[in-house]
Structure 1
Amino acid sequence: MSTLVLVRHGRTTANASGILAGRSPGVSLDETGRKQAARSGERLAAVPLVAIVSSPLQRCRQTAQAIAKAGEGRPAIERDNGLNECDYGEWQGGRLSTLAREKLWKVVQQQPSAAGFPGGETLTHMQARAVEAVRRWDRDIEAAHGPDAVWVAVSHGDVIKSILADALGMHLDLFQRLNVDPASISVVRYGASRPAVLATNTHDGDLGWLVPPKRSRRRKRSDDAVVGGGAGPGSSAGA
């Protein structure tokens, strides 16, 4: 089972202005966002990434580039429309403080599975195409690089929240309970039995535990949950 590192793009000019950018062109990282992206790259610098896949939007590509520059021998950045921002339709470009007065806002907050944006897509469709994309990439990467492979997907807040909700077995109506901040890192490992969510919304801290073990001490990895919690990464000990 390969390991998926989910990275949200760094802060943008639209984020800082309270604007729902959606798929608007030309939305780039601001100074804070560039620093955040560089920090994410630094955290992943020691991890041998076999793939970096990005939403096609500029802010994600900029974040992916920062991750690629931070490590040696990084692969070329791939793009996948499945990781694209939600199509917010007529809401795109709107000010969040204004959108919060719309009736649809409460639906998005309380019953996201019933929310569809006028002229755009539903949150259910967003989740379905995003989950399909990461599971497809994960399956192909494991087949090509083996079960110790680590790869990165750079995407957007709601998209990553929906992927995490799926991995956690949460109904989409509960996905607003999750936070995914700019340039935060979350980690998911898809197993034969179930996904395992190893981290969510992290901003700092060592990610060296993602480095695959040396071949001399590799063991067949199981996705069974260790009763009692186990001894942590790099250990085969139980409770």
Structure 2
Amino acid sequence: MNIYLLRHGETESNNKKVYYGSLDSSLNEKGIEQIKKAKEYLKNIKFDKVYISNSKRAKQTANIIIEHNKDFIIDNNINEMDLGIFEGKTYKELEKLYPLEWKCWSEDWKEYAPPKGESYVDFYARVKKFIQSIEKLDLENVLIITHGGVIRSIYAYILGENLDLFWKFASKNGDVSLIKYEYGNWFVDFIVHAE
């Protein structure tokens, strides 16, 4: 089975380099262009199923990629990590506004949950649940339109459930990755940058 992972296009929140997971943000002009390039790359693939997160940016990305068949499956398990009170803030703002919480998060990024947010361990658990449901499918081509944190968590899962691998991969806006599930094994086939 071929599973194509597509990160949504750039948003103004990406451009401003703020932390945002559950905040909704629209694609900007650059983001739209990134997804048009991804569409060209994916144009000859017939997708059996298309999964998207519940965010506006993922929906906008899906509407550019798939013009005719809008039969998307929205799955909250592939929403980006909820960063609670950290949402909409830059690295420097977090250090200044929430020094104690920022210190706790920096020292224990897996287990610590920002107030009103979720821990990485909890976030990873829902992404894992989703990708394990994909393993059970008997399809040829699946498209998953989601977020950078979700994609890096999928890599961590398929490469042996090593959560530290989260930081070992980039996932840029508009990137297309192909991962494959064959004979009970996962592997990364390729990663293509949109720019």
TM-score normalized with structure 2 length: 0.88
Among 134, 139, 156, the residue aligned to 1:137? 134
Q: Percent identity?
A: 27
Say yes or no: does 1:162 pair with 2:153: yes
Q: In 2, Cα distance between the equivalents of 1:53 and 1:193? A: 21
C-alpha displacement of 1:77: 1.5
C-alpha distance in 2, partners of 1:38/1:103?
Answer: 42
Distance in 1, matches of 2:77 and 2:177, equals 18
In 2, are the aligned partners of 1:112 and 1:172 still within 8 Å (CA)?
no
Aligned counterpart, 2:80: 85
- In structure 1, runs of 5+ residues without a counterpart are 206-239
Normalising by structure 1, what TM-score? 0.73
Alignment partner of 2:121 out of 117, 120, 124:
124
Select the structure with the greater relative contact order (CA < 8 A; seq sep ≥ 6). Answer: 2
Structure 2 equivalent of residue 115 of structure 1: 112
For residue 132 of structure 1, report the CA deviation from its aligned partner: 1.4
Between the aligned partners of 1:191 and 1:107, the Cα distance in structure 2 is: 40
Any idea what SS the aligned residue of 2:190 has? strand
CA distance in 1, matches of 2:147, 2:124: 12
Corresponding position of 2:166: 175
| Cα distance per residue 1:65-96 (max 9 Å; x no partner) | 11102xxx646111000011101111112223
Instruction: Name the CA shift for 1:10/1:118 in 2 (closer, same or farther; >3 Å).
Output: same
Equivalence for 2:20 = 21
Deviation of 1:152 after TM superposition, in Å, equals: 0.6
Tell whether the 8 Å contact from 1:49 to 1:75 is kept in structure 2 after alignment. Answer: no
Does the Cα contact within 8 Å between 1:19 and 1:96 map onto a contact in 2?
Answer: yes
Where in structure 2 are the equivalents of 1:17-56 lying within 5 Å? 17-25=16-24, 27-56=25-54
Q: CA RMSD in A?
A: 2.3
- Number of residue pairs aligned between Structure 1 and Structure 2: 193
SS of structure 2 residue aligned to 1:35: helix
Opposite residue 149 of structure 2, the aligned amino acid is D
TM-aligned CA distance change 1:4 to 1:95, over 3 Å: same
Instruction: Please give the secondary structure, in 1, of the residue aligned with 2:4.
Output: strand
Q: State the Cα distance separating 1:151 from its structure 2 match.
A: 0.9
2:7 equivalent in structure 1: 8
SS at match of 1:114: coil
In 1: Cα distance, 2:161 partner to 2:95 partner: 25
In structure 2, relative to structure 1, the CA distance for the partners of 1:167 and 1:78 (3 Å cut) is: same
